Structure 1
Amino acid sequence: MDLLALRYFQTVARLEHVGRAAEKLRVAQPSLSRTLARLENDLGVPLFDRHGRRIRLNRFGTAFLRRVDRALAELDDARQELDDAAGLERGTVAVAAESLLVLTEPLRTFVPGHPLVDLRLSQASGEGMAEKLKAGDVDLCVTSQPLTGDDIRSRVLLDEAVMLCVPAGHRLAGRGRVGLADLEGEPFLTTRPGYWQRALVDRLFAKAGLDLHVVCEGDEAAVLFQLIDAGLGIALVPALGLRAVTGSAVVWLDVDDPECRRVLSVAWREDTYLSVAAQRFRDHLVGHFHARAEPRSG
């Protein structure tokens, strides 16, 4: 049993597909299959149930994967800790967020000063981010909804109002402030279930006893304003989006409900080693958003 065999097993176990694992690992499929066979021979038990070209982790493989994940994570943490102790501020920092738009400005001020840090970004729902964090696939998550887990810690980046965005000329455009009852029957643009915008509008409408009429579900925040401007519908958008509006004549309105807010946080696992580079990016995020914090009224 060697380290390479364990990493090969981990990848195949997560994908449960030898072909896709070989592509990801950039090795020949026959070589990968032989490595897995030698590992099973060394352990004395099969790790997968094989049905033709399909494989599934069996109870031995599931138990072994838990130990392998823990052992490889410890080795990766040890290597990063040694690099940090030697003053080598480098490595990869993986960050997941519901919307990558919130990261553009912090990245603009972080990247030039940290040329040796390899930042890797991905987009996911709240549930997807929690899974990535627990699996060790990402170091940090920037989230607008709580991530559950005893070992997950977070810091608030921004607590801001969520506003109503309507097309110019809309019947509500001149109101300045609206109540939830004013929105009944309106066509809404929002995200797919699992993202914070959808959770917020679902919660607000359910509380008010209103039916939500969704005409568009999407994840491209930059396109949202063009769709509103085109007259497709209205949307709840965080106040941070005011800075992102370009080339559209949308109108922003306050919503008369104290729960119509977004709390943006950065989350990480407390039970694993967080590299110096990841710590610095986390602290940079905190400093960036706190410098631009919106004062809360009342």
Structure 2
Amino acid sequence: MDLSALRCFQAVARHEHISRAAEELRVAQPSVSRTIARLERELGVPLFHRQGRRIRLNRYGQTLLRRVDRALHELDDARRELTDAAGLHQGSVSVAAETMLTLTGALTAYRAAHPEVAVHLHQVAAAAMPGRLRAREVDFCLASQPLAGPSLHGIDLAREQVLLAVAEAHPLAGRERVTVPELADEPFITTRPGLWQRALLERLFARHGLRPRITCDGEEPGAIQHLVSAGLGIGLLPAMSRQAAPTAAPVRWLRLDAPDCVRTLTLVWHADAYLSTAARRFRDLVVADLSDGTASGRVRTLPPAR
């Protein structure tokens, strides 16, 4: 088994699709099919269930994939570590976040201190973050909701209250506090499923056996306050929104009577992955820049996925 065959198998196993794997590997589809057939002959067992043009990993393939992932991750980490030790280049760091706005200050400071480092940013939903870390596609994830998965470590950087924003002419505008059941019939403006605002909203309502009435969900969390100000609905926003743009889109702010109506900002990485000097310096800077004393600031092991 050579490395090219194992990487080919890994790509096919990930996509469970020959054409998509060939596109990722930038090789012809017949070449991928021949490589998988040769690997199966060498191992003496089939690795996939084949149903017409569809393929699916079988139990032999699942066993092999666990070993291949581990071996290739170790080799990739070894290459990064040797390159880092030899000083062959100034390094790179790759970060995934649900929204880039939170990282703006830290990125500005990091680029000023280390202009030679290549920084790669990815906007990723929280559900996809453990997989991106496991595949070594990113060094860090900055999450605004709880993550779970094997071998994940994290530092809670900040914990801030999430407030309810309503239009100035809304009937609730004169209130200081409100309960979740009182909002059962209110139209909510929020983000698409997978982003933290939506996850928090659904969790708060589910505790009361309710489902929020969502009239607008989208990709732009920054647009929520403007749509609320226009009277199109109400929405949950972090307290920092109240401080950042108090007059850009005027709204009234209420506290929700729910003890966990908060956002915890957590920096997460894979415990088994090698972190280059550039990546470790980035982690130190982010911790210094974003830690505000409201969270523990200590490294902890995250719970395994359920």
TM-score between the two structures when normalised by the length of structure 2: 0.83
Q: How does 1:61-210 map to 2 (within 5 A)?
A: 61-88=61-88, 90-175=90-175, 177-180=176-179, 183-207=183-207
Give the counterpart letter for 1:179 in structure 2: V
Give the counterpart letter for 2:287 in structure 1: V
Is the 1:89–1:277 Cα contact (8 Å) retained in structure 2?
Answer: no
For the pair 1:239 / 2:245, whether they are aligned, the reply is no
Is the 1:141–1:268 Cα contact (8 Å) retained in structure 2?
Answer: yes
Structure 2: which 5+ residue stretches go unaligned? Answer: 296-306
Give the counterpart letter for 2:239 in structure 1: A
The answer for the alignment partner of 1:55 in structure 2 is 55
Is the 1:185–1:211 Cα contact (8 Å) retained in structure 2?
Answer: no
CA positional deviation for 1:120:
3.0
Identity across matched positions, percent: 54
Deviations 1:198-231 (A, max 9, x none): 3323343455676632222233112222221221
The answer for the alignment partner of 1:222 in structure 2 is 222
The answer for the alignment partner of 2:279 in structure 1 is 278
Q: Using a 3 Å threshold, how does the CA distance of structure 1 residues 22 and 209 change in structure 2: closer, same or farther?
A: closer
Is the 2:91–2:277 Cα contact (8 Å) retained in structure 1?
Answer: no
Q: Distance in 2 between matches of 1:33 and 1:19?
A: 9
Deviations 1:26-54 (A, max 9, x none): 12222222332332233233322333322
Structure 1: which 5+ residue stretches go unaligned? Answer: none
Q: Using a 3 Å threshold, how does the CA distance of structure 1 residues 294 and 148 change in structure 2: closer, same or farther?
A: closer
Q: Secondary structure at the match of 1:108?
A: helix
Deviations 1:51-87 (A, max 9, x none): 3322222222211111110000000111111122224
Deviations 1:116-148 (A, max 9, x none): 433333333333222333343332121122222
CA positional deviation for 1:110:
1.9
Q: Distance in 1 between matches of 2:206 and 2:273?
A: 39
Is the 1:99–1:219 Cα contact (8 Å) retained in structure 2?
Answer: no
Is the 2:155–2:267 Cα contact (8 Å) retained in structure 1?
Answer: yes
Is the 2:178–2:254 Cα contact (8 Å) retained in structure 1?
Answer: no
Q: How many residues align?
A: 293
Q: Using a 3 Å threshold, how does the CA distance of structure 1 residues 2 and 206 change in structure 2: closer, same or farther?
A: closer
Q: Distance in 1 between matches of 2:196 and 2:77?
A: 31
Is the 1:89–1:276 Cα contact (8 Å) retained in structure 2?
Answer: no
Q: Using a 3 Å threshold, how does the CA distance of structure 1 residues 160 and 16 change in structure 2: closer, same or farther?
A: same
Give the counterpart letter for 1:249 in structure 2: P
Q: Distance in 1 between matches of 2:277 and 2:209?
A: 48
More displaced 10-residue stretch of structure 1: 32-41 or 63-72: 32-41
The answer for the alignment partner of 1:44 in structure 2 is 44
Q: Secondary structure at the match of 1:171?
A: coil
Is the 2:13–2:65 Cα contact (8 Å) retained in structure 1?
Answer: yes
Q: Secondary structure at the match of 2:159?
A: strand
CA positional deviation for 1:114:
3.1
Q: Distance in 2 between matches of 1:33 and 1:4?
A: 13
Q: Using a 3 Å threshold, how does the CA distance of structure 1 residues 10 and 208 change in structure 2: closer, same or farther?
A: closer
The answer for the alignment partner of 1:267 in structure 2 is 268
Q: Secondary structure at the match of 1:60?
A: helix
The answer for the alignment partner of 1:19 in structure 2 is 19
Q: Using a 3 Å threshold, how does the CA distance of structure 1 residues 228 and 283 change in structure 2: closer, same or farther?
A: same
More displaced 10-residue stretch of structure 1: 239-248 or 79-88: 239-248
CA positional deviation for 1:149:
3.4
